[in-house]
Amino acid sequence: MISRRAVVCLCMVLCASSCKRRERPAGLLTEEENPRLASIVHVSDPRTASQLLAGFHAIEQNAWRWTQGRFAVMLRTPRKAAERGATLWLKFVVPEAVIQKLNTVSLSAYVGGAALPPESYTQSGEFTYSRELPARVLAAENVRADFSLDKSVPPSGLDQRELGVIVTAVGLEAR
């Protein structure tokens, strides 16, 4: 005969195992939740895709995105950056096809009212565009970084997209 104690224990085990908290699928937020933006955005990361504001094409090979001639990203201002300033950087590739068609391409940026100096590229390869930002433009919790190329490859028969450079990551780091 099964004892009363064994029956009670069995019921408790069954009840406890059926009362699991349902996990909300990653990436789904309610209206009340205000996710904190990232200060470094890897363009392949779906969690930061909403920070790519304009001028980015669809992700390719789960790693990078082509840009248009103008593109923008929203970045969280790092701690202490409003006091010390920060460094804005963009990791990207200038493809051989772009250099063959355009010979040279210049990249510049605009952040919080500050125009950052351009840099010109005459060869294909991997590059990092890096510029110091003064503390005065980093007072807000988040800052928009607008990038601009002086030239881009226009849509053609093979590819109907305007093509600039290939970006892998962009970030803002406190000094």
Residue 31 forms part of a structural domain? no
- The pTM is what? 0.80
Residue 164 forms part of a structural domain? yes
Q: How many CB atoms lie within 10 A of CB 20?
A: 7
The pLDDT value given to residue 44: 97
- The whole-number average pLDDT for the span 140-159 is 96
Which residue would you say has higher pLDDT here, 116 or 30?
116
Amino acid at residue number 91: K
Residues with Cβ < 8 Å from 143, sequence gap 6 or more? 74, 75, 77, 111, 112, 137, 172
The pLDDT value given to residue 3: 56
Sorting pLDDT into bands at 50, 70 and 90, what band is 35? confident
Residue 32 forms part of a structural domain? no
The pLDDT value given to residue 13: 45
In 19-146, which residue ranges form alpha helices assigned H by DSSP?
81-84, 96-102
Residue 81 forms part of a structural domain? yes
Dig out the tokens for 46 from the structure. Answer: 């779906």
Residue 76 forms part of a structural domain? yes
Domain count, the chain: 1
Owning domain of residue 62 = 37-174
The pLDDT value given to residue 33: 53
- Range with the poorest average pLDDT among 20-24, 68-72, 93-97, 139-143: 20-24
- The whole-number average pLDDT for the span 32-53 is 90
Sorting pLDDT into bands at 50, 70 and 90, what band is 2? low
The pLDDT value given to residue 5: 56
Residue 7 forms part of a structural domain? no
Sorting pLDDT into bands at 50, 70 and 90, what band is 158? confident
Residue 50 forms part of a structural domain? yes
Residue 165 is part of a domain; what is its CATH number?
2.60.120.260
